[in-house]
Amino acid sequence: MARVKFMKVLGSWREVADAARTTIRRDEGEGEPSAKWKKRILLAEHSPIRKLCFNWKWLDLPYWVSVHFVRHKYGIEHFVSTQRTDRTGEDRAAKMQDAPVMHECFANAQAIMFISRRRLCSQASPETRAAWKLVVDEIAKVEPELAACCVPECVYRGFCPEFKPCGFCESEAYRQLAARYREVQ
């Protein structure tokens, strides 16, 4: 079972707010932005949110699950432990697809929300969903407003765009999650 080793936040909400002010030709401000402002700028996905970045590492992530995450390429960098025979001393061809790897990532807030839309969806593999949920749970400890914006695609769009919907959009759980997602205190 995969584990998340650490979560480091790079950048600050003060920097996000100052960048937002720059875009509207205002001087830098003072103090920490409110939770309401944070949630609104995240929901709007304005460019300054990309100044808020996160670094984490999965340990013992199955190789095939790591491949799912490596497919994400905008606003995120991946560093995956090698399986090269000349580096590990083990025959790469003999490794199973579920061989564990270390997978470190560095991503901005917008990328994290985008990845959540794909990887929290019921159509994602349960293992991939569980690995991503570990990251979102760690984010919730340090940036709860961002974690609240990490939702499946159906919640973000208001409908399911999948070819074979799972039916979650018809549930009470969906309605509650969608209401919490849109809520701005």
Domains and CATH numbers, the chain: 3-151 (3.30.1360.170)
Give the 3-state secondary structure of residue 100: strand
- Tokens matching residue 163: 């070819």
Q: For residue 97, what is the DSSP state? A: T
Note the pLDDT of residue 159. Answer: 96
What does pTM read for this prediction? 0.93
Q: Using CA atoms, how far apart are residues 9 and 16, in angstroms rounded to an integer?
A: 13
Residue pLDDT, tens place only, 121-139:
999 999 999 999 999 999 9
Those residues whose C-beta lies under 8 Å from the C-beta of residue 80, and which sit 6 or more positions away, are 66, 70, 101, 102, 103, 104
What lies within 8 Å, CB to CB, of 127 at 6+ separation is 2, 62, 65
Distance (Å, rounded) from C-alpha 87 to C-alpha 2? 23
- In tens digits, the chain (185 residues) has pLDDT values of 789 987 789 999 999 999 999 999 988 878 889 999 999 999 999 999 999 999 999 999 999 999 999 999 999 999 999 888 888 888 888 888 899 999 999 999 999 999 999 999 999 999 999 999 999 999 999 999 999 999 999 999 999 999 999 999 999 999 999 999 999 87
